[in-house]
Every structure is written in structure tokens, then in C-alpha cells.
Amino acid sequence: MWAFIFITIAATMIFAIYCIIPNYWMRNRSKRVLRHGTAEKPWIALTFDDGPNPLYTPQLLDILKDAGIKATFFVMGKQALKHPYILERMHSEGHTIGCHSFSHRHAWLMSPWHTFKDLELTYQTIESFLGYKPRWYRPPWGMFNLCSAAAARKLDLKIAYWSIEAQDWEATTTAQHIYDTIISRAQPGSIIVLHDNRGAPGAPAKTLEALPPIIKALKKKGYTFVTLDQLKGDTT
Ligand SMILES: [Zn+2]
């Protein structure tokens, strides 16, 4: 009986120390995490997670090119390995490319060793294809463990969260919902997270459908679209 109580308390403490507390800290309090840009300029940042995807990402790049705007892509190493030509196109068209993870594993299910290795592998995949050192990290689902920040620091990566999400990964999401959510919540300095891969089957198609009217409406409101490097005031 005492052994059971001891094991339960110990497991709860380990879970809190490795998962709950660092996740709360990084998402809400840590000054190392960019959650919102300056409100002094009418800047807004579009970010896209989980790609590249051979069907959706080229269409997304076409939309951004037509609109004459730059975005930030948090790519999966596994996807980049499969579709390096899309990664190269992102880079050549002036978008910022950051690390999202290699295979989108949840931080709470990764050991310390795997947390470091997963991020290193993603970083190395991007660097090997582009000769470009990524500068940003956003973990899958925005979830952190005790080692996430240390793994990012080791690679000199800045960490990005977001201030607006539009549930664009859900099966029941509509393009109208994505549009309404973003337009109603947009503020100077907002960081918008959308997805060009994963989610429910066909979900990125709704993101692509919503994006041109979103860009048009935000431009009309006077916003300028910037990458996270620009939003943070760093040179690109
Ligand atoms: Zn993701």
C-alpha cells in the first residue's frame, strides 16, 4: 500500500516537473518565447506549420507570391526530406523557414535525449538542403517539456508561439470560420498560425480557400505582412 502511494506521488511529481510546469512556463511566461510582436507598427505575421506538403504547399506559395507577401514556415524534417524542392522554393521566394520537429511527436512523450535529437535532425535537414541555418523553433501543438528550451538554445534557435489560431486542422472547420476568426482577432503584432499539412483529411484546402480573402481584408485594414524575423526586429 505504501509503495503504491509512494510510486503515485513520485510519478505525479516527475510528470509535473518534466511536462506541466515547463509547458505552462514556456507558453505563458518565458521571455524567450515570442507570442506577439510589437503593437506600435501595423505588422502581422502569417505562420504555417507541418509542411511541406506536395499538394497544398505549392498552392500556398502561389497565393503568397500573387499577394506579394512573405510568411514563416515551421516545417517537419520528415516532410522536408521527402519534398526538398518545395523547401528550396520557400527559401528562394524569401520566406523564413523554422524547425517544427522531425516527425511531429508530442514533447511530453519524448525523453530528454530524443528531444535534443529530434530538433537537431530537423535543423540539420533544413541546413543540408538550403545551406541556411534556421533561426526559429515552434514545437508541435506548442507543447514543451523540461528540455525543449535547452534543445533550442543549443542550436541558437528563438522560440515562437502564436496569438491567433483558427482551428484550421479540424474536420468541421470551414473557410468562413477561419476567415472570421482571424479577421475578428487580428491586431498589430499578431502572429497567426495556420497549417499546410496534416490535420483532418483535406483540411489544408480550407486554409487555402480562406487565405486570399484574409490577406485582402487585412491589407485593406492597413496591415503589412512580415516574417517573424522582421516582426522581432531582426535582419533577414
Ligand atoms: Zn504541428
| Domain chopping of the chain, boundaries | 2-232
Stated length of the chain: 236
Cis amide leading into 52 (omega within 30): yes
Q: Are the C-beta atoms of residues 159 and 101 closer than 8 Å to each other?
A: no
Gyration radius (Cα) of the chain, Å: 18
Q: What is the pTM assigned to this prediction?
A: 0.95
Which portions of the chain are predicted below pLDDT 70? 234-236
* Centroid of ligand 1 to alpha carbon of 50 (angstroms): 5
Q: Please determine, looking at this structure, whether the domain spanning 2-232 carries the CATH number 3.40.50.300.
A: no
Residue 234 is predicted with a pLDDT of 64
The pLDDT value given to residue 236: 43
125 alpha carbon to ligand 1 midpoint, in Å? 17
* CA 123–ligand 1 middle distance (angstroms): 16
Instruction: Round to whole Å and give the CA distance between 17 and 44.
Output: 35
Active site residue 62: no
* Structure confidence at residue 1 (pLDDT): 82
Choosing from 50, 195, 196, 229, the catalytic residue is: 195
Set of cell numbers at residue 3: 509503495
Ligand 1 geometric centre to CA of 104 (Å):
6
Q: Is 49 a catalytic residue?
A: yes
At 176 the three-state DSSP class reads helix
- 98 — phi, psi (to 5°)? -120, 175
pLDDT, tens only, 54-76: 999 999 999 999 999 999 999 99
In the reported structure, the alpha carbon of residue 137 is separated from the centroid of ligand 1 by a whole-number distance in angstroms of: 11
Kindly report the backbone phi and psi dihedral angles of residue 60, in degrees, each rounded to the nearest multiple of 5, phi listed first. Answer: -65, -45
The predicted structure's pLDDT at residue 235: 47
Ligand 1 center–CA 166 separation, angstroms? 14
pLDDT per residue as tens digits for the range 157-188: 999 999 999 999 999 999 999 999 999 999 99
Query: What is the distance in A from the centroid of ligand 1 to the CA of 92?
Result: 23
Please tell me the distance from the alpha carbon of residue 212 to that of residue 91, in angstroms, as a whole number.
21
Q: Per the residue annotation, which of 49, 50, 168, 196 is the catalytic one?
A: 49
> From the CA of 8, how far away is ligand 1's center (Å)?
32
